[in-house]
Structure 1
Amino acid sequence: MVLVSHFVLDARNLLCPMPVIRTQNRVAELGPGDVLEVRATDPGTLQDIPAWCRIHGHEMLSVSKNEGEITLTLRVRAA
């Protein structure tokens, strides 16, 4: 049985490229199948984090924006 965990990364009030760098560093600590929810305020993350996921093979589960706060949820790729 594979245990999948859900993690949250607070990247609010950080400007490009810091949200992507923090996401990359956090994903490196996670296991395959784990879910990471990134909370950000930099509008650039709407394009940057999904593009980073495509390049590195991670799955974007959802992207939402609410009152200036962006939430991106991704699943770490299998090994």
Structure 2
Amino acid sequence: MTDIVNVTLDARGLFCPEPVMMLHNQIRDMQIGEVVEVLATDPSTKRDFLKFCNFLDQELLSSDEQDGVLRFLIRKASEAG
């Protein structure tokens, strides 16, 4: 992935709804085209972040898991939300 990460959110150890609330607040403060990396350990973030991106018209660039840590790259694609 060649995308530049503009900010990293560390949501490890937090549970729904905290990670998605943190993401929502961060996306609001970003410029269109910027990328946020989110690190999380709550398995529900897989579903929550996909729904978040679909509902608020943001772009989920990638998601993967390594050693129990989920990593998401999300690009702000619109001012929705």
Same-fold status (TM-score > 0.5): yes
- 1:13 aligns with 13
CA distance in 2 between partners of 1:42 and 1:5 (Å): 21
Per-residue CA deviation, residues 7-35 of structure 1 (Å, 9 max, x unaligned), is 11011100001000000001111000000
**How many pairs does the alignment contain?**
76
Residue identity over aligned pairs, in percent, reads 34
- 2:38 aligns with 38
TM-score by length of 1: 0.90
CA distance in 2 between partners of 1:46 and 1:36 (Å): 15
Unpaired runs of at least 5, structure 2:
none
Unpaired runs of at least 5, structure 1:
none
Aligned-residue offset at 1:5? 5.9
